[in-house]
Chains A and B, each alone.
Chain A
Amino acid sequence: MGSIIVLDREGKEHKLNAQSGLTIMEIIRDAGLDIEAACGGCCACATCHVYLDKDSFSLLKSMQDDEESMLDQAFSVNNYSRLSCQIEYEEKLDGIKMTLAPE
Chain B
Amino acid sequence: MRQPVKDIMVGDDYASKFGFSSPEEYYFRAPKKGLSHELVEMMSKMKKEPDWMREFRHKALDTFWAKPMPTWGNQEALGRIDFDDIYYYIKPIEQMGQTWDDVPEDIKHTFERLGIPEAERKFLSGVSAQYESETVYHSIRDEISKLGVIFLGMDSGLMEHEDIVRRFFGTLIPPTDNKFAALNSAVWSGGSFIYVPPGVHVDIPLQAYFRINAKNMGQFERTLIIADKGARVHYIEGCTAPVYSSSSLHSAVVELIALEDAYIRYTTIQNWSNNIYNLVTKRAIAYKNATVEWVDGNIGSMLTMKYPCVVLAGENARGEILSVAFGGTGQHQDAGAKVFHMAPRTSSTITSKSISKGGGRTTYRGWVKTTANAEDVRVSVKCDALILDPTSRSDTYPTMEIGNPKVRIEHEASVSKLSDDQLFYLMSRGLSENESRVLIVNGFIEQFVKELPMEYAVELNRLIELEMEGSVG
Instruction: Tell whether A pairs with B.
Output: no
